[in-house]
């Protein structure tokens, strides 16, 4: 690699003050220690405790929804979100192929079928114009529901994912879902703190799912949440994720097949502390963007992914897109060998063995981006 890349590595190491720079690390201080210690001292460390309720209430207030239901991880959140809006076995669910595998797995848990759609090169999320042209050709409305004319399966929902924290084109997607009678379920796993035209991501659909894994902008260690303005759906989500147990002073009565998806109190305590610091985290992410802008400006044929017009991104993962003069794997090999942890975007899901036979549209932009995208160190530092 040339002197530009060597300087790039040196400047990143200088910024972080480390010889090895991870892709994304959590940021903790005394507040997390205090809250977690309180759980340990009181003995409330498992799935019951005040911090779970507090985290749910604080999260709902921050995002701007009536209810948040805390669960064990983002995949569980999406699984239950899809279930409570009526996704059933053999339904098809539209989603990008360019997403983390959890998006497709959550659909599969319901014995439904992922149906892969293409993305927009600027937002990295579902392309509504291309999707509508595709639906006009391959789908039809029957008695108020959308069906795939080729498979004869119902197409129940659309799951857009806000890639790396950058909001999708939500106005167009909302209109599309209304027109084609699709339930909109947002995969907001990566976009806590991101806004589309002043409205927080995860608030456009009937329900949405978030993740608080160890590498997210805030973390509960592991964890996720279901967000909704629908009190009935929120109550049902809470019921299902707590093993569908009917409240009683001592009896163990369960009224349907439920899931042990409860977030432990000790994890929620960590989340409460992290959520209090989220605005400051986002400010520091913006400073990191400014640092990378200066670094990337020195290269020809590389651009830093910026928040789409009309949006505010949390910039969870800093992302560069390289043109054809660069070999993605050579760049990744060099950066990682030099101690600057970097990653490609996910393997498009339709290329994975278990999902190769799923229906899909033309995914040309997905396949182009696969060869161009590299994520670079993104955790809080300045």
Quick one: pLDDT at residue 1? Answer: 75
Q: Which residues pair with 69 in a beta bridge?
A: 226
* Residues contacting residue 63 through CB under 8 Å, at least 6 positions apart: 192, 200, 202, 203, 227
Q: Which residue matches tokens 């129940």?
A: 156
226/283 same-domain check = no
144/206 same-domain check = yes
pLDDT digits (tens, 9 = 90+) for 10-39: 999 999 999 999 999 999 999 999 999 999
Quick one: pLDDT at residue 15? Answer: 96
Q: To the nearest whole percent, how much of the chain has pLDDT over 90?
A: 97
Quick one: pLDDT at residue 189? Answer: 98
C-alpha 42, offset from chain centre = 33
Last residue of a domain, one of 232, 249, 276: 276
Q: Which H or E run includes 113?
A: strand 113-117
The predicted model gives 113-125 an average pLDDT of: 97
C-alpha 21, offset from chain centre = 23
State the chain's mean pLDDT as an integer. 96
pLDDT digits (tens, 9 = 90+) for 193-216: 999 999 999 999 999 999 999 999
Quick one: pLDDT at residue 365? Answer: 98
**Residue 313 to residues 35, 167, 272, 310: CA-CA distances in angstroms?**
28, 7, 21, 10
Q: Which residue matches tokens 């937002």?
A: 123
Q: Which residues pair with 146 in a beta bridge?
A: 141, 155
Last residue of a domain, one of 276, 301, 318: 276
pLDDT of residue 44 exceeding 90: no
Q: What is the SS3 string spanning 133-161?
A: HHHHHHEEEECCEEEECCCCCEEEEECCE
pLDDT of residue 382 exceeding 80: no
Residue 354 domain-assigned?
no
The predicted model gives 167-193 an average pLDDT of: 98
Residue 364 domain-assigned?
yes
pLDDT of residue 294 exceeding 90: yes
257/115 same-domain check = yes
Residue 381 domain-assigned?
no
| CA–CA distance, 72 with 144 (Å, rounded to integer) | 35
Q: To the nearest whole percent, how much of the chain has pLDDT over 70?
A: 100
Quick one: which of 66, 314, 345 has its CA closest to 196?
Answer: 314
Confidence class for position 46, pLDDT limits 50, 70, 90 = confident
| CA–CA distance, 322 with 299 (Å, rounded to integer) | 10
Domain around 322: 3-27+278-349+359-376
Last residue of a domain, one of 276, 293, 324: 276
Q: Give the burial class of 3: count Cβ atoms within 10 A of its Cβ; 0-12 exposed, 13-18 middle, 19 or more buried.
A: exposed
Rg (CA), the chain: 21
78/216 same-domain check = yes
Residue 197 domain-assigned?
yes
Quick one: pLDDT at residue 29? Answer: 92
């Amino acid at each position: 690699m040339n002197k530009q890349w060597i300087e790039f590595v040196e400047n990143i190491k200088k910024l972080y003050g480390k010889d090895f720079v991870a892709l994304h690390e959590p940021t903790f201080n005394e507040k997390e220690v205090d809250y977690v210690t309180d759980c340990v001292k009181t003995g409330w460390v498992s799935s019951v405790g005040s911090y779970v309720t507090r985290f749910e209430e604080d999260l709902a207030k921050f995002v701007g929804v009536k209810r948040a239901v805390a669960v064990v991880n983002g995949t569980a959140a999406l699984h239950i979100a899809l279930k409570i809006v009526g996704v059933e076995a053999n339904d098809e669910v539209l989603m990008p192929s360019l997403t983390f595998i959890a998006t497709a797995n959550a659909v599969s848990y319901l014995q439904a079928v992922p149906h892969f759609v293409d993305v927009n090169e600027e937002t990295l999320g579902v392309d509504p114009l291309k999707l509508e042209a595709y639906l006009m050709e391959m789908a039809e409305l029957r008695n108020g529901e959308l069906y795939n004319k080729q498979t004869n399966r119902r197409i129940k929902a659309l799951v857009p994912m806000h890639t790396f924290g950058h909001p999708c084109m939500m106005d167009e997607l909302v209109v599309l879902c209304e027109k084609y009678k699709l339930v909109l379920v947002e995969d907001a796993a990566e976009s806590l703190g991101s806004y589309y035209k002043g409205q927080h991501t995860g608030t456009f659909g009937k329900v949405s799912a978030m993740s608080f894994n160890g590498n997210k902008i805030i973390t509960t260690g592991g964890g996720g949440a279901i967000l909704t303005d629908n009190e009935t759906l929120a109550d049902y989500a809470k019921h299902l994720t707590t093993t569908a147990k009917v409240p009683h002073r001592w009896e163990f009565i369960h009224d349907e097949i439920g899931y042990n998806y409860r977030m432990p109190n000790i994890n929620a305590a960590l989340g409460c502390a992290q959520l209090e610091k989220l605005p400051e985290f986002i400010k520091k992410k913006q400073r990191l963007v400014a640092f990378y802008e200066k670094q990337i400006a020195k290269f020809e044929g590389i651009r830093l992914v910026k928040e789409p017009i009309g949006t505010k991104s949390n910039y969870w993962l800093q992302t560069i897109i390289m043109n054809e003069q660069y070999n993605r794997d050579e760049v990744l090999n060099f950066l990682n060998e030099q101690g600057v942890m970097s990653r490609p975007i996910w393997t498009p899901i339709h290329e994975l063995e278990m999902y190769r036979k799923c229906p899909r549209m033309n995914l040309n932009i997905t396949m182009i981006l696969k060869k161009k995208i590299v994520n670079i160190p993104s955790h809080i530092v300045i």
